[in-house]
Amino acid sequence: MPDQPKVLIVDDEPEIAAELASLIARTGLSVVEAHDASSAIKTFAADQKIGVVVSDIRMPRRSGIEFVRGVRGVGNRGRMARIVFCTAYADVNVTIDALRLGAVEFLTKPVEAAELLAAVRKAADDYRQEMEGRALDGAAARDLAQIVEQFKSFILSGKGPVPVPAAAAQSDGDRLRKANHFMSIRKLRDMHLPAAEFDEPLWFMMLDLYHSQITGQRVSISNLCVSSGIPQTTALRRIEDLVQRGLVHRVPDQNDRRRAFVELSQDGQTRISRFLDSVSLDPAVS
């Protein structure tokens, strides 16, 4: 899991920068200071841990707006950085420029301590969560083809990974975390497996059903067709195939006979559980 990002304070008045840095540091976040836009851009580019910027706007030579434009040009991290502006002078045009640059907060000096800390904490949490998401996507992209093929073999034939010893069996929470990880690769389907129309929808149908049963939800046939991401007639054939294999079964809705739910059979749930027990997530994203 990525660490909390470092915070860069940019203000041309060293006393104000030091005061802000001391305040933010009390939250446990690491803080660095810069007193002009040019040195601040260099500091941001050199320190890969900086993810949040708290900047003044009116500064000599280059304004805070110009500084943030420079930050946005520093690769993916520059585009991802969370910006909090603090200024004693603001007008409509400046506010619009700040919003266009993706500022998450626009605070007016003198800034209340609680207001600043709330803005910085939220910015840091948002940045960390996006970094976690990108790490999950990266791991998923690297392992996608191998995982899907392994899953297909294991679920359909039961001859996949070697079963783990009983003592190593994991909890539903552990398995659910892995299922969520695998489900995060859905958006990469067309990029990485454009020809795998059977494998990938089957994979997600089984994971959707597992996720729903563990979290206490019910899935109708129509909802499962929609979540599969394939045409309804194709999805219905896939569901029928899973029924014939004994991996899922239909359950009539007692309140509406026109509708039926789909659930994993005991065999299907056992196979999914054993499969997830056999998989280790990359330590960087666990």
Query: Does residue 143 share a domain with residue 79?
Result: no
Query: Does residue 219 share a domain with residue 154?
Result: yes
pLDDT at site 286:
36
**Cα gap 102→120, rounded to integer Å:** 15
Q: For residue 119, is it within any domain?
A: no
Query: Does residue 272 share a domain with residue 186?
Result: yes
Q: For residue 178, is it within any domain?
A: yes
Q: How many domains does the chain contain in total?
A: 2
Q: For residue 125, is it within any domain?
A: no
Query: Does residue 154 share a domain with residue 52?
Result: no
Query: Does residue 273 share a domain with residue 210?
Result: yes
Residue 195 pLDDT grade (very low, low, confident, very high; cuts 50, 70, 90): very low
**Cα gap 138→217, rounded to integer Å:** 29
Query: Does residue 172 share a domain with residue 39?
Result: no
> Widest CA span of the chain, in angstroms?
73
CATH label of the domain that carries residue 216: 1.10.10.10
Residue 1 pLDDT grade (very low, low, confident, very high; cuts 50, 70, 90): very low
Q: Which of 77, 86, 75, 82 is nearest to 23 (CA)?
A: 86
Query: Does residue 269 share a domain with residue 217?
Result: yes
Convert the pLDDT of each residue in 84-125 to its tens digit. Answer: 998 887 666 777 777 777 788 888 888 889 999 999 999 998
Which of 76, 96, 111 lies at the terminal end of a domain, its last residue?
111
Q: What is the pTM of this model?
A: 0.49
Query: What is the span of the domain harbouring residue 205?
Result: 138-285
φ/ψ of residue 262, rounded to 5: -120, 135
Convert the pLDDT of each residue in 236-279 to its tens digit. Answer: 888 888 888 888 999 988 887 778 899 999 988 888 787 677 65
Q: For residue 120, is it within any domain?
A: no
pLDDT at site 129:
81
